[in-house]
Amino acid sequence: MTDTNGANDFIHVFEPGTDPARPPLLLLHGTGGDERDLLSLGRTVAPGASLLSPRGKVLEGAAPRFFRRLAEGVFDEADLRRRTDELADFVLKARERYGLPAPIALGFSNGANIAAALLLQRPEILAGAALLRAMKPFARAPRADLAGKPVLLLSGALDPIIPAANAEELAGQLTAGGAVVEHRVLPAGHGLGQADLALLGDWLARI
């Protein structure tokens, strides 16, 4: 069963899970994606998990995103902070509506960046996060209590968008907050490959 109704005016899809032992996944697409972009990925790496997948409300041309940017790799941090709170409030309402525990965020690119922002700005919203090709969302990160939260960060050594040092700084910020961070750098670019899926599926099975 899928549900595409809006809650807190986010267009979204909800697919109820069949395995109550698996935490739900909050699927957060990259620039130009939509609420259906990561559904097949979610089903593949976490079979039986409930899937909650909103569409970003910011348009860059015709491409949906979760927050504004001023240029490639330069974020509008005022908009990011507002959109992070907006997404956090949506997750809380969706949890109540669908009867869900705190989800694990699974985000790619722009979706991974706002998932990282959720961890740092509203840490109570997520049980953990898988951040695929993420960069640090804030120049100065808020202090967050992330004690024990599992985080997987998958970076590409050949990624033309995200400098290696930036991803390392994000891993450091999350670790400083107490998160249990597993950071893997793959011989890949910005796109995802089979190695990402294998690592992601293994990590989700372990947490």
Question: Is 159 one of the catalytic residues?
Answer: yes
Token code pair at residue 50? 């409930």
Question: Is 109 one of the catalytic residues?
Answer: yes
**Domain range summary for the chain, segments of one domain joined by +:** 12-206
pLDDT at position 6: 46
- Model confidence pLDDT, tens digit, residues 87-102: 999 999 999 999 999 9
The answer regarding whether domain 12-206 maps to CATH 3.30.1740.10 reads no
pLDDT at position 149: 98
d(CA 86, CA 80): 10
What is the CB neighbour count within 10 angstroms for residue 16? 15
Question: Is 12 one of the catalytic residues?
Answer: no
> What residue ranges of the chain have pLDDT lower than 70?
1-8
pLDDT at position 185: 97
Query: Of 50, 109, 155, 196, which one is the catalytic site residue?
Result: 109
